[in-house]
Structure 1
Amino acid sequence: MKKLILIRHCQAEGQHKDSPLTNNGVNQARRLAEFLNSKGLKLDRIISSPYMRAVETIRPYARQNKIEIETDSRLQERILSDQPVDDWFDVVETSFKDMDYRLPGGESSNDALQRGLEVIKEAVEDPNHQQIAMVTHGNLLMLLLSQFEEGYGFTQWRLLKNPDIFIIEHEQDFYQLQHIW
């Protein structure tokens, strides 16, 4: 049975792609590594958003277990707009209701979902790895989870924690989703 471990990054200092983890976020990343190890999750592949906060989230686990962190831009945070967005919370809510809604220079939920699902499809079809971690961001994570369990959306996005962990178990055409953090 294939296991995909989807992880939302730890607490960061900001939203910029080079924003590092806060001191609390660094401690969260250490606890995350301990948690994964204590659950017996033997990751054999790690794919992360290239954003610093995502890579730093999984780095303690990767170092302890001597696993390379691959970065994939398809797991980066969803771009709402190429301009500042004052009412970003309302924009996110609208984008969950209308998956094709997009601001100038931004991605629709469907655009972001498509690139994220490509990574999941490739991971599921990867014959060389059985337990694959994917480290990403809250908005994309929730869009992905909505494809595996009905009812995931804006309200659940608001309840996500930093970090947060979900497991998708896959066998043939069957998927099971668990929230484990």
Structure 2
Amino acid sequence: MRHCSAEGQHKDSPLTTVGMRQAHLLSNFFNDQNISIHRIISSPYLRAIESIKPYAQLINTEVEVDERLKERILSEDPIDDWLEVLEQSFTDLDFTLPGGESANDAMHRVSQVIDSIYDNENVANVIIVSHGNLLSLLLKQYNPDFGFANWKELRNPDVFLVNMDDEKTHSVECVWR
């Protein structure tokens, strides 16, 4: 899941008024699915945690914070043409700027979270809350065609269902309407 509308990109940026309303709509959406959620794992950024908090409270489940779900940093320095740089990073997965993280590095980081979930046979349904760039790279691992154009189409919030079976066969579907 991608977080709801926020007041900025800083890690402590809160949700906007619209974002808070979206978080309650997400809570209703997840509740209406009638799926037993075993874990909720979120980026440490405030906007991600606030996006899932109403649902976590509704089902009386802890939001686990995992640093590996924080947004990918393209560069430690401001970038004037950041959109072009981001697009390049989707075509050259090893491309990196000083202090930044390549797409491959970010995919490896988020894969560690997925592997830890998959390795626990008592856990079947998990909500992961993160950010557009990292979510796109996660989905790219299950659908290699998922790229920059798909990233540009992401909404705040957005929800994708990734089904995996024992053979690690998977499907990806956007379920947020």
Identify whether the pair has TM-score above 0.5, normalized to the shorter chain.
yes
How does the TM-score come out when normalised to structure 1?
0.94
Q: Distance in 2 between matches of 1:177 and 1:40?
A: 19
- Equivalent of 2:166 in 147, 169, 172: 172
Name the SS of the counterpart of 1:167 in structure 2: strand
Name the SS of the counterpart of 1:74 in structure 2: helix
Shift of 1:145: 0.5
Superposed CA deviations along residues 75-116 of structure 1, whole A, max 9, x for unmatched, are 000011111111111110010011011111100111111000
Count residues with an aligned counterpart.
Answer: 175
Unaligned ranges ≥5, structure 2: none
Unaligned ranges ≥5, structure 1: 1-6
Superposed CA deviations along residues 110-139 of structure 1, whole A, max 9, x for unmatched, are 111100011011111112221111000000
- Equivalent of 1:26 in 20, 24, 27: 20
2:86 maps to which residue? 92
- Give the 5 Å matches for 1:32-181: 32-173=26-167, 174-181=169-176
**What is the aligned-residue identity percentage?**
49
> Bigger shift: 153-162 or 121-130?
121-130
Q: Which amino acid aligns with 2:56?
A: A
Higher relative contact order (CA 8 A, sep 6+): 1
Q: Which amino acid aligns with 2:155?
A: K
What do you get for the CA RMSD once the two structures are aligned? 0.8
Higher strand proportion (structure 1 or 2): 1
Q: Distance in 1 between matches of 2:145 and 2:59?
A: 35
Q: Distance in 1 between matches of 2:35 and 2:135?
A: 20
Q: Runs of 4+ in structure 1 displaced over 4 angstroms?
A: none
Superposed CA deviations along residues 57-91 of structure 1, whole A, max 9, x for unmatched, are 00000001000000001000001111111111111
> Bigger shift: 36-45 or 134-143?
36-45
Name the SS of the counterpart of 2:171 in structure 1: strand
Q: Distance in 1 between matches of 2:34 and 2:81?
A: 42
